[in-house]
Amino acid sequence: DTGVSQDPRHKITKRGQNVTFRCDPISEHNRLYWYRQTLGQGPEFLTYFQNEAQLEKSRLLSDRFSAERPKGSFSTLEIQRTEQGDSAMYLCASTDGTNSNQPQHFGDGTRLSIL
């Protein structure tokens, strides 16, 4: 069990640029979640996948955000035309959907800073 891994760990970019983050879940986990955490706050749900299907999206996920999980394994989260307010830690989590009581396992996150 290598845990949930996210790449990159840090991303600094200028406002208006596009960014893409990657998440590799625990291999046997079929559910994958994206959350956003701003300083001093708890994580907020963005979206989740069961296998390759994106089943739920938060109202926080504006049309500048898009997430994919093409083969039901790794996932990408893309933000287009970044804004200052997008600066946050983006966390990925995974769990085994066949056991809904299991906790979600979180990666170390990607910290995004918009200049």
Residue 56 touching other proteins (CB under 8 A): yes
With CB under 8 A as the contact rule, which of the stretches 15-23, 37-45, 60-68, 73-81 interacts with other proteins? 37-45
With CB under 8 A as the contact rule, which of the stretches 13-21, 39-47, 62-70, 73-81 interacts with other proteins? 39-47
3 state SS for the chain: CCCCEEECCEEEECCCCCEEEEEECCCCCCEEEEEEECCCCCCEEEEEEECCEEEEECCCCCCCEEEECCCCCCEEEEECCCCHHHCEEEEEEEECCCCCCCCCEECCCEEEEEC
Based on CB atoms, which residue is closest to other proteins, 25 or 43?
A: 43
Residue 104 touching other proteins (CB under 8 A): yes
Site of interaction with other proteins (CB under 8 A)? 31, 33, 35, 40-45, 48, 50, 55-56, 91, 95, 100-109
